[in-house]
Amino acid sequence: MILWLNPFSGISGDMLLGALLDLGAPLDGVRAAVARTGLDGWELRAERVTRGGIGATRAVVEVTDTATERHAAELLDRVADVPVAARAVREIAEVEAGIHGIDPARVHLHEIGGLDTVVDTVGVAAALELLGVAEVHCGALTLGSGTVRTRHGVLPVPAPATAALLARAGAPVVGAGEGETVTPTGAALLLAAGARFGPLPAMALQGVGYGAGGRDPAGRANVLQALLGATAGQDERMLLLETNVDDVTGEVLGHLVGRLLDAGAADAWLSPIVMKKGRPAHTVHVLVTPERAAACERVVLAETGSLGLRRTHVDRAALPRHTTTVDVEGHPIRLKHGPWGAKPEHDDVVAAAAALDLPLRDVAGRALDIGRLAAHISDEFR
């Protein structure tokens, strides 16, 4: 599925989450994803509101912990198993560290350091997966003007972190109105989701959703419009990054693959090779969209110490896909559906099998059977 966002009034984490819920992402599934982080003392609900005459969904997050400042490392611990959310927090931490001239590991996150940020980022990541979103596209972002009061005092709008994140993403922007319209969390989620910026892509439109902001200003509907559509399959322009290394340990290479996937790579893998003088070595391969290539290059060069890498433009044929969630004796298991079948999410099967003390193949089989039954019932009532 393709998601196109029209941020004519800006974007924030809760606006994006609200738009995805309005498109039909199941609230219970999103809550379950947040619960799997182990976070306590939170509540997420969806409210129907009106903004500028448009009916929209507002995602309301309430937490009992009211702290708004935390080390980035603490938030990363919470979202480590949710790639999109982890990338969003990591991007915020890196730009904040650059702004303040400190190590990202030591950076304190202000204003966005609350646990509600965890709910927003994990909720958006889960909603994208539950809707089967394979591509995120976004129009030009409307930036406000003026100033905003923060822990560091009065700052210009867009806030420095927001501006740095949008620059990383190469996002097109336009100016309109006053006040903060794009938040750091909203910008970071676009970057983490690998959003491509430009006009509405060709697709078969299947849904329209609106996510509401907290304010209802006069003269402009404070909503994020989201369009969801399908494609019968298309070629995607990708980059293949490669480098040969003969002095990197297996432990580092294994860590590198995980870091690349967290950084937005579509795929990453290693091939054993023999280099000059018969030395055993490896080729690091990274398949990535042009928008995320720079971030992945930084990871490869930093982790391996390589002095360079190769770039090759390739086309990838991408078939339509979507994700559903089934329940196996109280344990949610995601099913990834393609044109010719479905496959249970391995990590979900492992967790359920361990909890139920059953073999992996039995749990996977049950999940597929439940998915087939649900599809059959849906067809019967369509």
Last residue of a domain, one of 199, 230, 261: 230
What confidence category does residue 379 fall into, taking pLDDT thresholds of 50, 70 and 90?
A: very low
Domain residues for 266? Answer: 234-318
| Mean pLDDT within 245-249 | 94
- Whole-angstrom Cα distance, residue 161 to residue 117? 15
Cβ-contact 209, 228 below 8 angstroms:
yes
Asked which of 279, 294, 318 is the last residue of a domain, the reply is 318
213: which residues sit within 8 A by CB, 6+ positions away?
A: 9, 10, 12, 14, 15, 51, 58, 222, 223, 224
Q: Pairing state of beta strands 223-230 and 280-288? A: unpaired
Smallest CA-to-CA distance from 83 within 318, 265, 286 is with: 265
User: Helices 184-192 and 115-130 sit at what angle, rounded to 10 degrees?
Assistant: 40
Same domain assignment for residues 276 and 333: no
Three-class SS of residue 12? coil
Q: Which pLDDT value is given to residue 111? A: 45
**Per-residue pLDDT band at 104 (split at 50, 70, 90):** low
Q: What would the pLDDT profile of 289-330 be if each residue is shown by its tens digit?
A: 888 899 999 999 999 999 999 999 998 877 767 788 899 999
| Together in a domain, 30 and 132 | yes
- Could you tell me the CATH number of the domain that includes residue 293? 3.30.70.1380
Of the pLDDT bands very low, low, confident and very high (cuts 50, 70, 90), residue 269 is very high
The per-residue pLDDT for range 17-44, each reduced to its tens digit, is 999 999 988 888 888 888 887 777 788 9
Q: How confident is the model at residue 15 (pLDDT cuts 50, 70, 90)?
A: very high
Which among 291, 319, 133, 132 has a CA at the least distance from the CA of 235?
Answer: 319
Quick one: pLDDT band at residue 73, thresholds 50, 70, 90?
Answer: low
Do residue 239 and residue 226 come from a single domain? Answer: no
**Tokens at 283, concatenated:** 């080729």
The reply to whether 201 and 78 lie within a common domain is yes
- Closest listed residue to residue 166, CA positions, set 148, 142, 150, 146: 142
Longest dimension (CA), the chain: 72
The CA angle 338-211-62, to the nearest 5 degrees, is 105
Distance CA 358, CA 374 (A): 23
Whether 116 and 200 map to the same domain: the answer is: yes
What is the percent of the chain where pLDDT is above 90?
Answer: 37
Is the pLDDT at 216 greater than 80, yes or no?
Answer: yes
Are residues 90 and 239 located together in one domain of the fold? no
DSSP symbols for 30-84: HHHHHHTTT--SEEEEEEEEEETTEEEEEEEEEES-----EEHHHHHHHHTT-HH
How many structural domains is the chain composed of? Answer: 3
* Judgement on whether residues 94 and 206 belong to the same structural domain of the protein: yes
Residues 288 and 362 in one domain: no
Exposure pattern of 185-222 as b/e (b: 16+ CB <10 Å)?
Answer: bbbbbbbbbbbbbeeeeebeeeeebbbbbeeeeeebbb
Query: Which pLDDT tens digit goes with each residue over 118-177?
Result: 888 888 988 998 888 888 999 998 887 766 666 656 777 777 888 888 888 888 888 876
**Which residue reads 């199941």 in tokens?**
26
What pLDDT shows up at residue 109?
Answer: 52
Mean pLDDT of 55-61: 91
Instruction: Provide the mean pLDDT of the chain.
Output: 84
- 156 and 179 inside one domain: yes
- CA-closest candidate to residue 156, choices 138, 170, 175, 169: 175
* Residue after which a domain boundary falls, among 318, 344, 361: 318
Cα 364 to Cα 215: distance, rounded to the nearest angstrom = 45
Let me know whether 335 and 311 are in one domain: no
Asked if residue 240 has pLDDT above 90, the reply is yes
pLDDT band at 378 (very low <50, low <70, confident <90, very high): very low
Average pLDDT on 257-285 reads 93
- The reply to whether 43 and 175 lie within a common domain is yes
d(CA 170, CA 157): 18
Residues 196 and 220 in one domain: yes
228 DSSP assignment: E
Distance CA 249, CA 342 (A): 36
Which of 342, 134, 334, 339 has the alpha carbon at shortest distance from 229? 134
Whether residue 50 is predicted with pLDDT greater than 60 in this model: the reply is yes
Kindly tell me if the per-residue pLDDT of 257 is higher than 90: yes
DSSP letters spanning 322-373: EEEEEEETTEEEEEEEETTEEEE-HHHHHHHHHHHT--HHHHHHHHHHHHHH
Distances (CA, A) of 236 to 179, 203, 289, 319, 350: 37, 14, 8, 10, 32
